[in-house]
Chain A
């Protein structure tokens, strides 16, 4: 049986390639049909904010990659509710909100974790 991997993405979307490179790990795992989960936490939840304009900073639109998650078989997408509340964001439709206790159990459930 394949080992499961949880990727915790903590980077804001326009702070360099980090957020994109975290997503790339997730998408690559999905392409190999591996059981992958994705949790947005801390500034990573800004990736889920509505109405972003990547063109304003001449960047590629990250939301296209986010929308591709489903196509790559990544259905386990979560968002830290503490981080959302702290930043005045409402829970997005694309990610399941989780409180700290649930995140603790989530980390427990996966075989491996990469937090970046």
Chain B
């Protein structure tokens, strides 16, 4: 089974993304939203080799260019991701 991990805390002030990356499986992906989008500035995320999505409105609001290793999704894309992956684990 595959898991979509959703992270909305900034990785620069909070440990959620680090914990998430530790337990992220090979078939899993991470959706960054809210301040979690700041992780696009975190090269460590890319080097992990995990699939990364970002909620478009959050990268746009923060003026964060989306690197080629991440994909941007809108809300209908978010809904589709939650279906494509077997479960959604939001790091509340």
Enumerate chain A interface residues (CB-CB to B < 8 A).
8, 10, 41-42, 82, 100, 103-105, 107-116
The contact of A107 among B15, B25, B90, B92, by CB within 8 Å, is B25
- Count the A-B residue pairs with Cβ separation under 8 angstroms: how many? 35
CB closest residue in chain B, given A111: B87
Check if B91 is an interface residue, CB within 8 A of chain A.
Answer: yes
The contact of A104 among B15, B25, B88, B91, by CB within 8 Å, is B25
Main secondary structure of the interface of B (DSSP, over half): mixed
The contact of B92 among A41, A82, A111, A116, by CB within 8 Å, is A116
Are the C-beta atoms of B3 and A115 separated by less than 8 Å? no
**Across the A-B interface, the 8 shortest Cβ-Cβ residue pairs:** A113-B89, A116-B92, A103-B23, A100-B22, A104-B25, A104-B23, A108-B1, A115-B91
Beyond known contacts A111-B87, A115-B89, A115-B90: 14 more, CB 8 A cutoff: A41-B19, A42-B15, A100-B23, A104-B23, A104-B25, A107-B23, A107-B25, A108-B25, A109-B1, A110-B87, A113-B3, A113-B88, A114-B92, A115-B92
Say how far A19's CB is from chain B's closest CB, in angstroms: 13
Say how far A82's CB is from chain B's closest CB, in angstroms: 7
Are the C-beta atoms of A113 and B87 separated by less than 8 Å? yes
Are the C-beta atoms of A42 and B89 separated by less than 8 Å? no
- Which residues on the A side are within 8 Å of B22 (C-beta)? 82, 100, 103
- Which residues on the A side are within 8 Å of B89 (C-beta)? 8, 107, 113, 115
Q: List 17 A-B contacts (CB under 8 A).
A: A41-B19, A42-B15, A42-B19, A100-B22, A100-B23, A103-B22, A104-B23, A104-B24, A104-B25, A105-B25, A107-B25, A108-B1, A108-B3, A108-B25, A109-B1, A110-B87, A113-B89
